[in-house]
């Protein structure tokens, strides 16, 4: 028996329904799943339109000092005019400082004494305090004041000048180095 055209149409329609029904079920399941996922977000969005946070703030004491590299070598090559000592000066480095405290000062110390018959001095220019001029740090294992009376604020790009002197009795001194430490303190 041959199926007539009506049955053929009916069979095709049934196949389309069988094919469409699982897709509709899957789509409905996905829609429900997404809806359940979004419900907490929707509920949260409807509960409040503002939030609060607790912020803790604090200002701590600031005492910062920085330098621009190291001075060049201080080689004594001749006696200064009208001087009893051989000397050389370098002012190629600068310092900057920042503090939010009053009554601060900059002190200098050296990591070891200078050789017999020599002297190392340092001078810091200052617009935020009072410079003590050239200060001898030759034996300053204990810090010595170089700038005093510093108030809150900053001092930027101020000159550091080193002076190295040797008595005429010093005939030769091999190259040697020292570490000078500058500290911003109270």
Say which CATH number the domain at 83 has.
2.60.40
Total domains in the fold of the chain: 1
Angle subtended at Cα 168 by Cα 163 and Cα 174, rounded to the nearest 5 degrees: 70
For residue range 121-140, what is the model confidence (pLDDT) as tens digits? Answer: 999 999 999 999 999 999 98
User: Rounded to 10 degrees, what is the CA torsion of 95, 98, 99, 102?
Assistant: 60
Longest dimension (CA), the chain: 137
Whether the model pTM is above 0.75: no
Q: Is residue 176 a part of any domain in this protein? A: yes
Q: Is residue 92 a part of any domain in this protein? A: yes
Burial profile 123-159: b = 16 or more Cβ within 10 angstroms, e = fewer = bbebebbebbebbbbeebeebeebbeebeeeebeebe
Q: Is residue 68 a part of any domain in this protein? A: yes
Q: Is residue 75 a part of any domain in this protein? A: yes
Q: Is residue 47 a part of any domain in this protein? A: no
* Residues 145 and 135 sit within 8 Å (Cβ to Cβ): yes
Q: Is residue 150 a part of any domain in this protein? A: yes
Q: Is residue 20 a part of any domain in this protein? A: no
Q: Where are the alpha helices (DSSP H) in the chain?
A: 5-47
For residue range 63-88, what is the model confidence (pLDDT) as tens digits? Answer: 999 999 999 999 887 655 555 668 89
Q: Is residue 71 a part of any domain in this protein? A: yes
99: containing domain: 63-185
Q: Which pair of tokens denotes residue 20?
A: 């469409």
For residue range 80-109, what is the model confidence (pLDDT) as tens digits? Answer: 555 566 889 999 999 999 999 999 999 999
């Amino acid at each position: 028996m041959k199926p007539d055209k009506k049955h053929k149409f009916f069979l095709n329609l049934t196949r389309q329904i069988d094919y469409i029904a699982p897709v509709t079920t899957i789509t409905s399941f996905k829609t429900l799943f997404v809806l359940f996922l979004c419900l907490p977000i929707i509920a949260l969005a409807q509960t409040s339109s503002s939030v609060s946070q607790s912020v803790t703030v604090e200002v701590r004491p600031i005492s910062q000092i920085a330098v621009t590299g190291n001075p060049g070598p201080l080689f004594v090559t001749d006696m200064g005019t009208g001087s009893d000592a051989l000397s050389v000066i370098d002012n190629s480095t600068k310092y900057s400082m920042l503090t939010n405290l009053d009554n601060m000062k900059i002190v200098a110390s050296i990591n070891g004494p200078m050789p017999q018959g020599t002297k190392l001095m340092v001078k810091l220019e200052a617009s935020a305090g009072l410079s003590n001029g050239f200060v001898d740090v030759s034996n300053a294992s204990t810090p010595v004041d170089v700038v005093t009376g510093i108030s809150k604020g900053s001092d930027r790009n101020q000159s550091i000048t080193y002076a190295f002197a040797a008595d005429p009795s010093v005939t030769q001194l091999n190259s040697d180095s020292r570490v000078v430490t500058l500290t911003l303190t109270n």
